[in-house]
Amino acid sequence: HSVAILGAPFSKGQKRRGVEHGPKAIRDAGLVDRLSNLDYSVHDFGDLSFPRLDKDEHFMQVPFPRTVGRANQLLSTAVNSAVGAGHTCVMLGGDHSLAIGSVEGHSQQCPDLCLIWVDAHADINTPLTSPSGNLHGQSVAFLLKELQDKMPKVPGFSWMKPFLSSSDLVYIGLRDVDPGEHYILKDLGIQYFTMRDIDRMGIQRVMEVTLDHLLARKQRPIHLSFDIDSFDPSLAPATGTPVNGGLTYREGIYIAEEIHNTGLLSVMDLVEVNPVLGASSEAVEATAGLAVDVIASSLGQSREGANMAFQETP
Ligand code: ARG
Ligand code: MN
Ligand code: MN
Ligand code: MN
């Protein structure tokens, strides 16, 4: 089996500089070697290049709408062809607005995909509810069919239309949800697990209910969109919107292992690693190393160990 790595050095979904250097930081932390050791043939397609548009005025209070729309259109095409070529695809961000193109491109090949969003934030604001205007806090709103009539026509996004049903989405790790987002989560009846839910139920039960919710009726491809800020800031300090009280190392790795164990992971995003925001090189390396651990665990690195003789046969 083979893995495609797509770097997406992009930051215009938010206003802080540096998250465009995420792909390099994650590669420098040893991603390709770690995946090669898992017996994948690794195809690193390098970094996509995104055009700089010189005229891109605000839309309502949303900055860089056409720049973000165009980058996501290019990413969508790249993910579409990587999945079409038979690879499991790993998209390295960049900010979380990139999930729009990543999930959209994936859906072109796998129209029945389901989405697991691991994040401190719900990223389901619309341009009308967003307190910041930033598109990395609005990605999910672009994907959902049920929000179509609440979404204005944002310039730069006419290439796509929403395709995901709210029942095909589960959130894990939420702890900073804006009022408009909370209304949408409740109104659409979206399945979500906050950090409080993880405290109450334990991560084992959270994953059981998550996978049951998405897969019990039928097995289908999984898109994992993993925001590094889901982890506690003590583990992942180099990120733009850290929130206290996040996932422990073991909770994050358990989520990844359970998703691997389904055998259904098709595309994953690892976003919001911002090497410029680390207080020291150690802080940056810890954050990027954690990103590599999550990706490796999602693709089958096991805490039990593994050897050829006892390899599971599909
Ligand atoms: N909810 C806030 C907003 O809409 C923060 C979003 C943070 N998103 C992220 N992908 N880190 O701006
Ligand atoms: Mn820079
Ligand atoms: Mn987040
Ligand atoms: Mn996010």
Check pocket membership of 105 for ligand 1, CB cut-off 6 A. Answer: no
Which 8-state DSSP code applies to residue 52? P
Sheet holding 114-118, edge to edge: 41-47, 2-8, 88-93, 265-271, 222-227, 114-118, 169-174, 191-194
Is 149 an active-site residue?
Answer: no
Confidence label for 18 from pLDDT (cuts 50, 70 and 90): very high
Ligand located closest to 176 CA? 1
Average pLDDT over residues 191-208: 99
Beta bridge partners of 277: none
pLDDT tens figures, 121-171: 999 999 999 999 999 999 999 999 999 999 999 999 999 999 999 999 999
Q: What is the mean pLDDT of the chain?
A: 97
The per-residue pLDDT for 309 is 73
Is 87 an active-site residue?
Answer: no
Confidence label for 311 from pLDDT (cuts 50, 70 and 90): low
Confidence label for 39 from pLDDT (cuts 50, 70 and 90): confident
Is 54 an active-site residue?
Answer: no
Ligand located closest to 225 CA? 4
pLDDT tens figures, 240-267: 999 999 999 999 999 999 999 999 999 9
| Percent of the chain residues topping a pLDDT of 70 | 98
Q: Whose CA is nearest to atom 3 of ligand 1?
A: 137
- CA 227 to centroid of ligand 3, rounded, Å: 5
The active-site residue out of 104, 123, 168, 197 is 123
ipTM above 0.85, yes or no: yes
Q: In terms of DSSP H, where are the helices of the chain?
A: 22-28, 31-37, 65-84, 99-109, 139-143, 179-188, 195-201, 203-215, 249-261, 281-298
What's the predicted TM-score (pTM) here? 0.97
Check pocket membership of 97 for ligand 1, CB cut-off 6 A. Answer: no
